[in-house]
């Protein structure tokens, strides 16, 4: 099993007949333990493996066309040298030294597993859509204790990204990318039902543009809900996951969620160029005309004027709610713009308690909010005096 693993993972085995004894070199079968890089192998590997010993060595330095390696195990005195002019030749630098530890079989298994995962990630991603977690799980069914996913995740994501198309710079790039037959085949349809579309189109207008993606599974589930069952939608935008472009074409990813059984499920994702009222109105009309009739009971949003005004115009009978988290976030953000005020809060516990009372005003009954605000405002004014 060990030999099969290494024949699959490592692509360089050097061997030959014995060389001249006078030069003190001898033939040793060894393997360079490569790392995946740009869908190929990184030939400047720092590790070297000698299967007959079951030992791993780490690169130390090069001199006079010779590479010198130390045993990977800390405290082990054994060193070897590799002749760069004749890469099949390898010798131990001090004949009488021996390893002061057992063969590094466990570490070798770990290296082979890591390279297997990287190799699979680099090659599979170009052929079909898979998550890096899926690749890891399939390779680590019986050896997850050797390699932690958390420590490999970033590496695997970077390897995966090298197999994907370059990030679009504008909305015309998105249209062009999805016109590619291979991309369209692998990425425009649902991961769970390949016959149903996930990418639903890109709209480019004079003042704005957007691309829309919809989960067909969630969309069908919503449409199958009983007629009388209320539909509560939550809408929020994020700015941290949009493609980075030199033209700054992408401003936000707007996400629609449906609330059901005390859980929220995202199902519509819209990459937008701006947050204007016209853009939001166009998006809502597109969903209503080309995706499905949402038949909303309520919408919960943050405090963006454009989004809330667009919802009021397209769904005038629907109740609009705001999010308490976004309320407290907005208050704290505005407070942070007043250095003297923040300094007072940090030094005075009574002022800090009063500030927190303002944050929980939205949790009162609607009829009590104004009364509560006036009371707190009076306390704040007297406190300032």
The DSSP code sequence of 52-84 is TTTEEEEEEEEETTEEEEEESSTT---EEEEES
- Calculate mean pLDDT across residues 197-217: 95
- Calculate mean pLDDT across residues 237-250: 88
- Calculate mean pLDDT across residues 90-116: 82
- Calculate mean pLDDT across residues 328-347: 87
Report the mean per-residue pLDDT for the chain: 82
Q: Is the pLDDT of residue 210 over 90?
A: yes
Domain ranges of the chain: 2-103, 107-163, 171-322, 329-384
Integer-rounded Cα Rg, in Å, for the chain is: 31
Residue bearing the bigger pLDDT, 51 or 296: 296
Q: What percent of the chain has pLDDT over 70?
A: 83
Cβ atoms 314, 303 nearer than 8 A:
no
Q: What residues have CB less than 8 Å from 321, skipping those under 6 apart?
A: 298, 299, 300, 301
Question: Which pLDDT score, from 0 to 100, does residue 143 have?
Answer: 66
Q: Is the pLDDT of residue 73 over 80?
A: yes
Most confident of 19-28, 84-93, 369-378: 369-378
Task: Show contacts of 324-332: CB within 8 Å, 24+ apart.
Answer: 324/362, 324/363, 326/302, 327/303, 327/359, 327/362, 328/359, 330/302, 330/303, 331/358, 331/359, 332/359
Minimum mean pLDDT range among 13-17, 50-54, 152-156, 174-178: 13-17
- Calculate mean pLDDT across residues 320-328: 90
């Amino acid at each position: 099993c060990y030999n099969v693993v290494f024949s699959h993972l490592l692509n360089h085995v050097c061997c030959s007949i014995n060389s001249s004894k006078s030069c003190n070199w001898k033939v040793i079968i060894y393997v360079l333990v490569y790392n995946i890089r740009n869908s190929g192998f990184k030939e400047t590997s720092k590790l070297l493996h000698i299967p007959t010993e079951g030992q791993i060595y780490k690169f130390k330095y090069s001199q006079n066309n010779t590479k010198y390696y130390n045993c990977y195990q800390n405290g082990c005195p054994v060193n070897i040298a590799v002749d760069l002019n004749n890469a099949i030749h390898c010798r131990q630098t001090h004949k009488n030294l021996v390893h002061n530890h057992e063969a590094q079989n466990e570490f070798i298994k770990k290296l082979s597993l890591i390279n297997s995962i990287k190799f699979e990630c680099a090659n599979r991603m170009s052929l079909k859509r898979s998550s890096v977690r899926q690749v890891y799980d399939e390779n680590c069914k019986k050896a997850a204790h050797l390699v932690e996913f958390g420590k490999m995740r970033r590496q695997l994501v970077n390897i995966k990204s090298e197999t994907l198309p370059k990030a679009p710079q504008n909305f015309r790039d998105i249209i062009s990318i999805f016109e590619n037959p291979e991309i369209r085949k692998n990425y425009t349809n649902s991961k769970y039902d390949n016959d149903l579309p996930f990418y639903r189109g890109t709209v480019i207008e004079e003042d704005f543009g957007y691309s829309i993606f919809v989960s067909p599974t969630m969309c069908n589930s919503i449409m199958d809900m009983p007629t009388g069952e209320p539909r509560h939608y939550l809408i929020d935008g994020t700015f941290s996951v949009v493609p980075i472009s030199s033209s700054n074409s992408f401003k936000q990813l707007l996400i629609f969620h449906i609330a059901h059984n005390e859980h929220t499920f995202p199902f519509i994702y819209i990459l937008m160029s701006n947050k204007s009222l016209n853009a939001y109105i166009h998006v809502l009309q597109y969903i209503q005309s080309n995706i499905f009739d949402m038949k909303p009971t309520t919408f919960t949003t943050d405090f963006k004027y454009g989004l809330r005004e667009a919802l009021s115009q397209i769904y005038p009978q629907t109740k609009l709610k705001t999010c308490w988290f976004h309320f407290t976030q907005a208050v704290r953000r505005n407070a942070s713009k007043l250095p003297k005020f923040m300094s007072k809060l940090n030094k005075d516990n009574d002022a800090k308690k009063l500030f927190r009372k303002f944050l929980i005003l939205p949790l009162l009954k609607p009829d009590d909010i104004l009364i509560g605000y006036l009371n707190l405002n009076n306390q704040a004014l007297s406190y300032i005096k």
